[in-house]
Amino acid sequence: MSAEIVEMSRLAQHEQVAARLRTLLVEGRIAPGAKLNERELCEQLHISSRTPLREAIKLLAAEGLVDLLPNRGAVAVQLSEDDVRHLFELLAELEGLSGALAAERMLDAEIAELRALHYEMMACHARRDLSGYYRLNAQIHSAINAAAGNPVLAQTYARLNARVQSLRFRTNQDEAKWARALAEHQQMVEALGARDGQGLRAILVAHVLAKRDTVLALMRAGEIYPTKKTRKG
C-alpha cells in the first residue's frame, strides 16, 4: 500500500470521527463543559485507535466547539451570558452583511438550490426531525454566507458561529419558537429571490438576535446549563 493511500485513509477516518463528534457536541449529547474522555469516546464511536480521535478534537478546537484547557484537557465549549451576548451581537451583523451581499452576488441557480434546501427543511419540521432540520438550517445560513463572496467575512463568521452551534440547536426545541424560526426562513428565501439585500439584512439580524434572546432566557431558567459568573465593569 502506498504512503499516499495510507495518508488518505488516515485523513478520511479523522474527518469521519470529527463529523460524528461534531454532531454529539452540537446536539448536546456531550454536555457543555464536559471533559472529552478519549476511552469512552473511542467506545462510543467504535474506533480502535485514539490517534484519529485526537486529531478530530484538535480540529474541533480550532473550529471553536471544544476548548483545550490547562490541566483539564479538551472540554465541550461552555459560554457565559456575556459570551452569548457578545457573540450573537456580532454574528447578527455578520449574517446581515452576508445577506446584503448575497442578494447582489448569488447566482440564480444558487438561489434555486437554497430554495430546495428550504423545502427539505420544511419537511423535516413537519416530521419533527430536529436533527435533520438543524443540519439543513446550518447549510442555508452557510450558503448565504458563502454567496457573499468575501473570504474574510466567511472565515470570521465560521469561527464565531461554531462556538454557538449547540445553543442555536437548542432554540428550536420550543414548538412556538421553532415555527417562528421557520417563518423567518421563508422570509429570507423570498427576500433573496427578490434580490432585496436590505430586506434580507434586516430579517437575518432580527433572526439572530431572537436566537440570542431565546438562549439567554434558557440559560437563566437553567434549561441549558448553569452560567458562569459574569464579570463586573
Q: Distance of alpha carbon 59 from its chain centroid, rounded?
A: 15
Q: Please give the residue range of the domain that contains residue 50.
A: 3-76
Residue type, 216: L
| Count of alpha carbons within 13 angstroms of residue 145, beta-carbon side | 22
Q: Of 24, 56, 76, which residue is a domain's last?
A: 76
Query: Does 72 lie in the same domain as 106?
Result: no
Query: Does 138 lie in the same domain as 162?
Result: yes
Q: Of 76, 96, 119, which residue is a domain's last?
A: 76
Q: Please check whether residue 231 lies inside any domain of the structure.
A: no
231 has pLDDT over 70: no
Q: Of 76, 94, 120, which residue is a domain's last?
A: 76
Q: Please check whether residue 227 lies inside any domain of the structure.
A: no
> Looking at residue 80, what is its pLDDT?
93
> Looking at residue 11, what is its pLDDT?
53
Confidence of residue 225 (pLDDT cuts 50, 70, 90): low
Confidence of residue 152 (pLDDT cuts 50, 70, 90): very high
CATH classification of the domain holding 14: 1.10.10.10
> Looking at residue 173, what is its pLDDT?
80
Share of the chain above pLDDT 70, in %: 91
d(CA 108, CA 100): 16
Residue type, 227: T
Q: Please check whether residue 98 lies inside any domain of the structure.
A: yes
75 strand-pairing partners: 35, 67
**Sign of the C-alpha dihedral computed for residues 132, 40, 167 and 113 taken in this order:** negative
d(CA 208, CA 92): 5
pLDDT tens profile 86-134 = 999 999 999 999 999 999 999 999 999 999 999 999 999 999 999 999 9
Contact 24, 45 (CB under 8 A): no
* Residue at grid coordinates 413537519: 126
What cell does 191 get?
427576500
Backbone phi and psi for residue 69, each to the nearest 5 degrees, phi listed first = -110, 140
Residue type, 160: L
E-state strands within the chain: 66-69, 73-76
Count of domains observed in the chain: 2
- Burial of 178 per CB tally in 10 Å (0-12, 13-18, 19+): middle
> Looking at residue 233, what is its pLDDT?
34
Residue type, 189: V
Q: Please check whether residue 150 lies inside any domain of the structure.
A: yes
CATH classification of the domain holding 216: 1.20.120.530
Query: Does 95 lie in the same domain as 197?
Result: yes
Characterize 61-95 residue by residue with b for buried, 16 or more Cβ atoms within 10 angstroms of its Cβ, and e for exposed.
Answer: bebbbbbeeeeeebbbbbbeeebbbebbeebbebb
**DSSP per residue, 114-155:** HHHHHHHHHHHHHHT-HHHHHHHHHHHHHHHHHHT--HHHHH
